[in-house]
Structure 1
Amino acid sequence: MRLTRQDLSAATEEGVLDADTAERLWRFLAQRDEARPQFRAAHILYYLGGFVAMAAFALFLGQAWESWAGWPMLVLVGSQFVLGLALTHWFLRRNLAIPAGVMLTFALSMVPLAIYSLQQGMGWWPEGGGRVADYHRYIRWHWLFMELGTIAAATVALWRYRMPFTVFLLALSIWYLQMDLVPFLFDTWQERWEMRKLVSMVAGALTLGLAFWVDVRSGRRKDYAFWLYLAGAAAFWGGLTAMNSDSELGKLLYCGINLLLIACGAALRRRVLALFGALGVAAYLGHLADLFTNSLLFPVALGALGIGIVFAGLAWQRNEARITAAMLSVLPAPLRALIERAQA
C-alpha cells in the first residue's frame, strides 16, 4: 500500500487527522523515503549520471587502449577507483545514500579493468584473448578472472557499505560468469549453444533462489534482492525460452512455469517475475494461435477463458482476506513474514 499526500488530505477532511499532524506525518514519511530509490527526477539523474560515467570510461578504453595498455592503464584505473570511493564517502557524510551507492558501483566497475591491466602488465594475458573494450560484447572464457575478482570485490563492498545498488554489479558479473564458463568447458559450437541454454536456465534458477533468500533475510527497508531477481529472471527465462521444445507437452509445461512466475511475482510484489511470466504466456498463446490457425472455435474458447479469468479475479477480490489468511497459515514463518511485508 502506497501512502500519498492526497491520502493524508482526505484523512484530514474526514476528521481522522488534524492538519498539523498530517503535515508532520508527511514530512516524516518523506524524509524516511529519501533513501529509497524512486521514480523521481533527482534519483533518475543520480543513476543516469553513474551510467554515463561508466560508459564514458568504457568509451575511453576503446579509443586509448593501444597506447595505455598495461601498467599506465592500471594507474589510471586505480585513480578512478580511489575517486569513486572518495565520492562515496563524501556523499555518505551528507546522508545521501543513493548517489553514494552509485559512486561505489562506479568504483567497483574499475575492478575488472584493473585485473585486465594487471594481467597485461605481467604478461599473463593470452594471445588472441581479446581487448577489454569487448568485455561487455563478447562471450569468452578469458574474462573469468575479471568476473571472479569483480564478484569478490562487490561482495566485500556490500558487506562493508550495505548499499543495494552494489548488487547490480554483483548480479551482472554472476550473469557474465555463467555465460563465459560454457566456452571454457566445451569445445564445439553446437555443444556450447546447447549447454549455454541449460547453464543459463540453471544459473538463473539458482540466482532467483539467492534473491529469494536475500529477500527473506533482509526485508524491504533496503531492497538488496531487486537486481538479483532481475538477473535471475532474465537468465532463467531466456534459457528456458531458447530450449524451444518440439513436444506439445513441453510447451504446456513452459506455459505452466510462466504462470508460476506470474503467481510468485504477485505474491512477492516482484513485477519483474510477473513481466517475464506474462511474456512467456503470450509466447505460448501465440504458438496456440499458429497451431489452431484454421479453427474458428479456438478464438471463442480463448475469449471464454479470458472472461473466466476476469470472474476468477472478481471472486478472489471478494474473498481475498479469507483465502490469503488460510494460505499464510500453512507457510513457514519467514516466508509468511516476507509475503506480509510485500503486501503491506
Structure 2
Amino acid sequence: MTFKFDSQDLARAVSAGVLQPGQDQALLQFLRQQPETRASFQLAHIAYYFGALLIMGAMGWLLTEAWMSIGELALLLVALAYMGLFTLTGLSLWQRGQRIPGGLLGAVAVSLTPLAVFAVERLTGLWPLDDGQRDFHDYYVYVRGGWLAMEAATLLVGLLMLRLLPFPFIVMPIAVALWFMSMDLTELVYGGIFDWDQRRWISLWFGLALLLVSLLVDGRSRQDFAFWGYFAGLLAFWGGLSLMDSGSELGKALYCLINLGLMSVAVLLRRPLFMVFGAIGVAGYLGHLAYEVFEDSLLFPILLTLIGLAVIGLGIAYQKRRDALTAGLRARLPASLLSFLPALRR
C-alpha cells in the first residue's frame, strides 16, 4: 500500500508531537530525493545482474571447443583463478556495503565450480571415457551420470558461499545443479538413457519438490532466499508440464486448471512469479482453443488480441485488489494450513 503526503501533513505531525521541530523538513527533503535515487538503483541492479549472467554464460553454456584445446591443467588454473578473483572481489564489495554486486560475484564463482571439477576429472583420468561426452558444453545439454561429481561440488561450494556471502541469488546456481542432479542421478540409479518424456516427468517432480522446499524457507530470514528457489522450481515444474503433449482435450484442460492453481498460489503467497507462469499457461490454453475453433478465420488474431487484453486487465485488477483477494483467500483456509504459510511480503 502506498501513502502520499506533503509538507502540511508533516507539519501536523510536528504539532501532534510525532516529529520533533526540524525533522519534518529533513524528512521532506529526503523523500524528494528518493524517486531519482530509486530509479538509478534499479538501473544499476539491472546492469549488475546482466553482467553476472554474461559471465556465467561465457564460462558455461557458451564455452567454446577452443577452450577444451588449451589442456586440462590450463583450464583448471583459469577456472580456479576466476573463482578466487570473483570470491575475493565479491567479499571486498560486500564488506564495503555493495552487497548486490558482491553477492552476484559470489554466485558467478559458484557457477564456475563445474568447470573446475571437469578439468580435475580430465586431468586425473577420473572422467568416464565411455560417457560419450568430451566437451564441457555438453554438461548443459545432455543427461549423464558422469556429471554427478560436478553437480555435488557445485552444491557444496554454493552452500559454503552462502555462509560467506548470504545473498539470495547464490541459491540459483545451487538450484540448477540440483535440477541437473535429479536427472543424472535418476538415470544412474535406473540405468539406461532416459528419453525426453521421462526427462520432462523428472523435471516436473523436481520442480514441485523445489517449490515445496522454497515454501518452507520462505519468511525464515530477512532476505528473500525463497524467491530464486521459487523461480527455479517454476522453471522446472512449469517447463516440464508445458512440454508434455497429452494428445487429448481433457489433458489440455487439466493443464489449464493447474495454471489457474498457480495463479491462486500467487494470490495466496503474494508472489507475482506464480501469476506470470500461470497466466502464460492459461493464455496458451485459450490460444489453443481459439486456434481449434477459429482456424483459418479472420477472427483468430482478433480473438488472440482480446485474450492478451484480458490477461493485462487481470493483472491490473489483481494489483488494485491484491490485499483484499489475499485476505479473502486466506480466510477460507483452515487454521492449520495458515500456520504453515509464510508471512506476506509487501
RMSD: 3.8
CA contact (8 A) 2:267 2:326 kept: no
Per-residue deviation, 1:186: 4.9
CA distance in 2 between counterparts of 1:198 and 1:265 reads 23
CA distance in 2 between counterparts of 1:41 and 1:237 reads 29
Match of 2:169 among 142, 165, 171: 165
Structure 1 324/203 Cα, relative in aligned 2: closer, same or farther at 3 Å?
closer
Give, as a single letter, the amino acid of the residue that structure 2 aligns with 1:171. Answer: A
Per-residue deviation, 1:143: 1.8
Whether 1:330 and 2:335 are equivalent positions in the alignment is: yes
Quote the residue 2:7 is aligned against: 12
SS where residue 192 of structure 2 aligns?
coil
Structure 1 319/134 Cα, relative in aligned 2: closer, same or farther at 3 Å?
closer
CA distance in 2 between counterparts of 1:136 and 1:37 reads 35
Between stretches 56-65 and 152-161, larger displacement belongs to: 56-65
Quote the residue 2:158 is aligned against: 154
Per-residue deviation, 1:38: 9.4
Per-residue deviation, 1:141: 3.2
CA contact (8 A) 1:37 1:43 kept: no
Q: TM-score, normalised by structure 1?
A: 0.77
Whether 1:118 and 2:107 are equivalent positions in the alignment is: no
Structure 1 166/336 Cα, relative in aligned 2: closer, same or farther at 3 Å?
closer
SS where residue 180 of structure 1 aligns?
helix
CA distance in 1 between counterparts of 2:233 and 2:240 reads 11
Matches within 5 A, 1:12-161: 12-15=7-10, 17=13, 20-21=23-24, 23-24=26-27, 27=30, 40-58=42-60, 62-69=65-72, 71-127=73-129, 128-161=132-165
CA distance in 2 between counterparts of 1:254 and 1:22 reads 56
Quote the residue 1:199 is aligned against: 202
Quote the residue 2:18 is aligned against: none
Give, as a single letter, the amino acid of the residue that structure 2 aligns with 1:245. Answer: S
CA distance in 2 between counterparts of 1:267 and 1:211 reads 15
Identity %: 33
Per-residue deviation, 1:21: 3.3
Between stretches 158-167 and 226-235, larger displacement belongs to: 158-167
Give, as a single letter, the amino acid of the residue that structure 2 aligns with 1:54. Answer: M
Per-residue deviation, 1:327: 3.7
Per-residue deviation, 1:277: 0.7
> Structure 2: which 5+ runs fail to align?
15-21
Per-residue deviation, 1:248: 3.1
Aligned residue pairs total 318
The Cα offsets for residues 277-308 of structure 1, whole Å up to 9 and x where unpaired, read as 11111122123224444899xx8xx99xx7xx
Give, as a single letter, the amino acid of the residue that structure 1 aligns with 2:53. Answer: F
> Structure 1: which 5+ runs fail to align?
none
